[in-house]
């Protein structure tokens, strides 16, 4: 079985009696209840269930500086994307006051929609320069980048760090599809999969995706199709659309004994190469031994090179999961299927590229030609719907 990143699959879910003890401590001491956004709350859950192993909590300023400068944790474990909790100066001041003037070591109650679901024991709190953060993580400070815009417009000024304990799970849609790392690992073990390829997606499947997945599947025992659910940028496909489309694809065109569909709730950062490596780390924690790295993986606009993420993986020979890079593929009318530029001899006029904008335009038009681009069962799920895309953040 694949080792978790850092060697240990983290479990920060309160054990029997532990939750009551934490709540008792909170009631006896002065504490502050911090209300989180959905995305922050999901980060808490992902830490607790080991998706972000070996992290046990949110990263502090020195850890973030190390990740930005070296793309590694303090013990030299590869790590490319800070997992942080930004809070406002006002929240920090109120938390300090509630704790009697000394926040370090103090417990905070974490809440989402006034539902107390976790606790955080503070190890560090302080302001961090957002320009430094943006340039280091996203490679730009331009507000047109969705990750930079959210950083400046929605996040506080202070990084709050500390170990978390999950007291109870969040309510969430698509619960039956949201498998945890421990669950996928048990599933792979039960099915006898020793090698597993992870495929991340935030799109509905076209024949190009299927070509990549099945090509990768020829080298391993099984595939984890792992679509990202949660907040995305306008123009991305909605969660329910992605799930329904993949249900149809897998039920009609994949073997049941070597494929599994399991969703991951996670906020896309659109941090390009850095996020691509982190996507691989998360799938390593799910038990994957291989990971598909596509063109412009985790990219947005023209901020990153088409194959920059694939090149970035070469800096981490000790990552512990094998990247499978895929480059040029298309549908060839003469070949009658999906091919790549290494095996197709035909004129480019015979080639139909898998353009996301083209597929979106065809779906929005309602009468667009999707022949050779998508399976008919998938098209049936998509055509005629008015709720295909995220309209606003």
Catalytic residues: 201-203
Element of type H or E holding 186: helix 181-191
Beta strands at 57-58 and 259-261: parallel, antiparallel or unpaired: unpaired
Nearest Cα neighbor of 273 from 305, 309, 239 is 309
Coil, helix or strand at residue 94: helix
From residue 359, alpha-carbon distances to 268, 340, 368 in Å are: 21, 19, 8
d(CA 80, CA 72): 7
Question: Using omega within 30 degrees of 0 as the cis cutoff, is the peptide bond preceding 59 cis?
Answer: no
Contacts of 177 (CB under 8 A, 6+ apart): 243, 261, 262, 263
Distance from C-alpha of 341 to C-alpha of 318, rounded to nearest angstrom: 31
CA atoms of 76 and 53, how far apart (whole Å):
14
Gap between the Cα atoms of 120 and 137, Å rounded: 24
CA pair distance 134, 297, nearest whole angstrom: 19
Helix (H, G, I), strand (E, B) or coil at 332: strand
Quote the DSSP letter at residue 15. P
Angle among Cα 174, 178, 180 to the nearest 5 degrees reads: 165
User: Checking DSSP bridges between strand 322-325 and strand 290-293, what pairing results, if any?
Assistant: parallel
According to DSSP, residue 330 is labeled E
CB-based contact 106:29 (threshold 8 Å): yes
Q: What are φ and ψ of residue 261, in 5° steps? A: -105, 120
- DSSP summary character for residue 238: P
Residue 287 near residue 256 (C-beta atoms within 8 A): no
């Amino acid at each position: 079985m694949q080792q978790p990143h850092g060697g240990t699959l983290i479990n920060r879910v309160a054990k029997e009696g532990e939750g009551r003890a934490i709540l008792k401590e909170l009631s006896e001491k002065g504490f502050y209840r911090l209300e989180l956004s959905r995305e922050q709350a999901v980060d808490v859950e992902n830490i607790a269930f080991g998706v972000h192993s070996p992290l046990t909590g949110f990263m502090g300023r020195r850890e973030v500086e190390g990740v930005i400068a070296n793309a590694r944790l303090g013990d030299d474990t590869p790590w490319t994307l800070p997992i942080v909790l930004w809070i406002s100066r006002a929240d920090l001041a109120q938390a300090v006051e509630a704790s009697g003037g000394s926040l370090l070591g103090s417990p905070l109650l974490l809440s989402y929609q006034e539902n107390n679901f976790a606790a955080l024991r503070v190890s560090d709190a302080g302001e961090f320069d957002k320009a430094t953060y943006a340039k280091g993580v996203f490679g730009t400070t331009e507000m047109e980048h969705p990750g930079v815009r959210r950083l400046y417009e929605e996040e506080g000024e202070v990084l709050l760090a500390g170990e978390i304990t999950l007291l109870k799970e969040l309510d969430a849609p698509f619960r039956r599809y949201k498998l945890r790392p421990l669950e996928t690992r048990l599933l792979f073990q039960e099915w006898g999969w020793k090698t597993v390829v992870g495929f991340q997606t935030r799109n509905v499947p076209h024949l190009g995706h299927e070509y990549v997945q099945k090509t990768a599947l020829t080298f391993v025992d099984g595939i984890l199709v792992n679509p990202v659910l949660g907040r995305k940028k306008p123009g991305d496909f909605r969660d329910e659309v992605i799930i329904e489309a993949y249900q149809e694809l897998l039920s009609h065109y994949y073997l049941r004994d070597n494929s599994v569909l399991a969703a991951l709730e996670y906020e896309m950062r659109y941090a390009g190469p850095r996020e691509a490596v982190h996507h691989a780390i998360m799938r390593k924690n799910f038990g994957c031994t291989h990971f598909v790295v596509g063109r412009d993986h985790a990219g947005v606009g023209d901020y990153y090179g088409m194959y920059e993420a694939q090149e970035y993986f070469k800096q981490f020979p000790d990552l512990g999961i094998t990247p499978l890079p895929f480059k040029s593929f298309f549908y060839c009318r003469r070949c009658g299927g999906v091919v790549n530029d290494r095996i197709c001899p035909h004129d480019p006029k015979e080639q139909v590229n898998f353009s996301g904008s083209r597929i979106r335009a065809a779906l929005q038009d309602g009468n667009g030609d999707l022949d050779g681009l998508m399976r008919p069962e998938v098209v049936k799920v998509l055509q005629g719907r008015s709720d295909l895309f995220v309209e606003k953040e």
